[in-house]
Chain A
Amino acid sequence: MTVTETAASAVRSALETDHIESHLNPPASYGLADHPVPTGREEVWRFTPIKRLRGILDGEASAATLKRETTLPEGVTLSAISAEEAVALGELAPNERPAALAAANADGALLLDIPAETVLAEPVVIRLTGATVDDLVWSRLIYRVGAHAEVTVVLVHEGSARYSAISTFLVGDGAKVNVLSLQDWADDAVHLGRDAIRVGRDASVKHTSISFGGDLVRMHANVEYAGPGGEAELLGLYFADEGQHLEHRLFADHNAPKTKSHVLYKGALQGKGAHTVWIGNVLIRKVAEGIETYEENRNLVLTDGCQADSVPNLEIETGEIEGAGHASATARFDDEQLFYLRSRGVSEKEAQRLVVHGFFNDLIRKVDIPMVEEKLLATVEAELAKNVLKDELA
């Protein structure tokens, strides 16, 4: 793959390092005054087209909700709790305005409770469907996974809405959690999501964010550790079409020793004005000795007129680490790969299709949720049909 953007990324990464205080570890707070309405020039907002947030940042009150269908295996409960209870449970406070607004405007919170030592064969499924982009929806969710539980949670977003959500995953000691958030919105939806995960001692968490639909999607996945030995794997897959803005912001806060974070996000872009943003922030605090972190973002640009911004950012406050690294690359189709495939009789379109599937393949396998795997392959195929394979199907 030809690397075309590494130099640009390196420059950006150097720029962002100057502002570490302002964004790598922004003070969390419920106070709206601590999160002023952004102008778009702020470090954390400069990639986001603020106008297309359709007024979410104004924070209007709204009682609209998304339709919710759930599959709750035995032992798992979903219940309404008050805002105070959410805080008392240990909710991770908002680190930016949309999340703070969601906390302030949602009517209490929902608690998905998975008791200690629950081992589920089937995933918990929460399917949220929006009726129309005219609906402004605030949401506040807490996922509590008890010690040594082993669960998979699949969250699906469909339909349309202007949706701002603050979610917290409290993962107990020794638990194994696999969470997937699928943004499969209609074309006009706007979604601002903040997922924050607190990884218990020796617990392991896999969090996957998959964004296909929506006009503008901006997701945070933040990780911190409640004790040593925790592991987090943050995965992401996105496919941006004409005019779509898909932004994923990661923050791994190594605040405990012997913890691990592995980040892998892969995206494809096609069509005029397709824009993706990936910000991978990793902070290794002084106490965090013997940790391991690796983050990687790869983008495949399928047509002209797309933009992929990719900014890895590693801040290290201790020298005693096992390993730390990052990689970021944005590339177009590799001529040599296409030539090789075509020299075996495969048409150009089919060769491109193979390369794109190949590009996402390792990631889709890592997600490791069979019920989602086929859907992901089919969606990648459907996305390809919109552009790369268009002439062939016409």
Chain B
Amino acid sequence: MPLVTVSDLTKTYVVGQTAVPALRGVSLAIDSGEFVAVMGSSGSGKSTLMNLLGCLDAPSSGTYHLAGQDVLRLSSNKLAAVRNTSIGFVFQQFNLLARATALENVELPMVYAGLRRRERRRRAREALAQVGLSEREHHRPSQLSGGQQQRVAIARALVNQPLLLLADEPTGALDSVTSEEIMAALVRLNEGGLTVVVVTHDPEVARYARRVIHFKDGRVVSDDLNQAMRAAA
């Protein structure tokens, strides 16, 4: 059974009097362990899909099953638990707490998982070490570079050992060298068995993925294994 199954997902934003259809019926299945790149022109609905997959927003219609659970029917507390333990989300704009240190930012999901302080500390240190930021535990976001901030955000997304890592243009705000570092980190995580979905504009970045989904006007226009991979196969 696939980890993620969505069918006929639509999302329409209402701005004033006009309805803006951002997703016009998307059906997808993603298996455990896949590395999926989502591409498409600006405004094609990629972020909208990611937010729905991350349970950060509610669709206008359609269904969404995550690990066999019908997440659209969950109570708000159960949904909070899904966000907390099943999903890790990496934002383009990092979204770190400005007044908290790197360590405290990484601890945040564990606070809501009800872990004890000492356990939180230990696991947050480990996660920061994994992304190579042991030296920066007590720095605040403003004292970190963009790439470092994004690595803190990745550590935060991973610290509760989610089933699914969602990254919406994680390298959009970074230079190409730093982008490669970040993508390399995501690839390593995928090789460790984590399911990764990443939105990107950069064909270079999409090379890392074994499956690329193309979006246009709120619809999936192509969904293939990576051309290069296929050529190699």
User: A and B: partners?
Assistant: no
